[in-house]
Amino acid sequence: MSSAPPVLAEIAEEPLITRYLRSWGPVAPLLLISGFGLMRQHTIRKPVSIEGIGLHSGKVARVTVAPAPPDAGVVFRVRATGERIPARPESVVNSHYATTLGVNATRIQTVEHLMAAAAGLGIDNIEIEVDGPEIPALDGSAKPFVALLAFAGRVQQSERRRMLSLPCPLRVGSAGRWIQIVPSDTFRISYTLDNDHPAIGTQVLSWSPTERSFVDEFAPARTYGFLRDLGLMRKNGLARGGSLDNAIVLGNSGALNGLRYRDEFVRHKILDLLGDLALLGRQIRGHVIARNGGHALNLELVLSVQRAVGLERRAAATASAAAADEAARDAARREGFVPAPGLAAI
């Protein structure tokens, strides 16, 4: 048995090629403790990288995930500019077909599967360097990202994990498309997906997350799309990297490339929702109940939760402090002063 599967590599190794994913079977060795319910924050043990084609951009991108200190959260960094984009609700600039984060003119598309993988494995603090416009689609699920993070290893940190409890029930959407969350002592997602396509129909699933169930039953669920919509989507700059290798493609009567689960569609909806909820940066105590949601509704719910618990005020204060620190560093550089390592807190 080899020490590492061919899909995974550390920084010093050759870039990863998406085609290796098709020849590699198991997701990854499970980590030893459950990601859900951990009391302490966690990061990864070592940097790891993966590359592939972006689902919507159609361009090659390489992602390097590295350890981060306690309370850092998930932060994306654009390799070309060095621009940092925290994975927070206020960083979302587009939620049409995927979750896109941005700051100023910088954009990173399709972050939800990587965010879901980190959340599902109980990883709170990581820095993600992105060389390209979009997180790679890989096989269209979170499975390759779970493998990547599991190979990196998980390290417990000193700070306690921050929990999020709701003061009252919240609901967004209307008619046949809505999401609500109600206070609870534990985290649970219940989802109903209705679609008149014969391969989908009505799919209902309720899930109380554990690490093993996430890895085995939800992370491998792939994104999906309809063949009839492909031309219009590509005309609008979407799905340019989509293929039978990274998405379930639905023809008139069924899936053109088979299913991993009979109800893979609702499983993927839950996966996307988990990734978007991770933008809150805290483990939620609540029961999320959804019907025919999507990234736009997911974001509405996230913003509603943020307002209800006052997180947007804290986020604004944190952003202001970070901007002040950066302005001070810029001023020091203009004056010819270079801060000494380790002296920033003095």
Active site residues: 295
DSSP letter at 289 equals E
DSSP letter at 340 equals P
Q: 186 with 288: CB under 8 angstroms?
A: no
Query: Residue 91 and residue 101: Cα distance in Å, rounded?
Result: 5
Q: 128 with 217: CB under 8 angstroms?
A: no
CA atoms within 13 A on the CB side of 254: 6
Amino acid (one-letter) located at 169: P
Three-state DSSP at 329 gives helix
Query: Residue 49 and residue 132: Cα distance in Å, rounded?
Result: 13
Provide the angle, in degrees to the nearest 10, between the axes of the packed helices 264-277 and 295-309.
40
Helices (H), 201-339: 211-213, 230-235, 264-277, 295-309, 311-334
- Residue 192, judged by CB atoms within 10 A of its CB (0-12, 13-18, 19+), counts as middle
Instruction: Enter the tokens of residue 31.
Output: 């980590």
Instruction: Enter the tokens of residue 275.
Output: 């990734």
Query: Residue 99 and residue 92: Cα distance in Å, rounded?
Result: 7
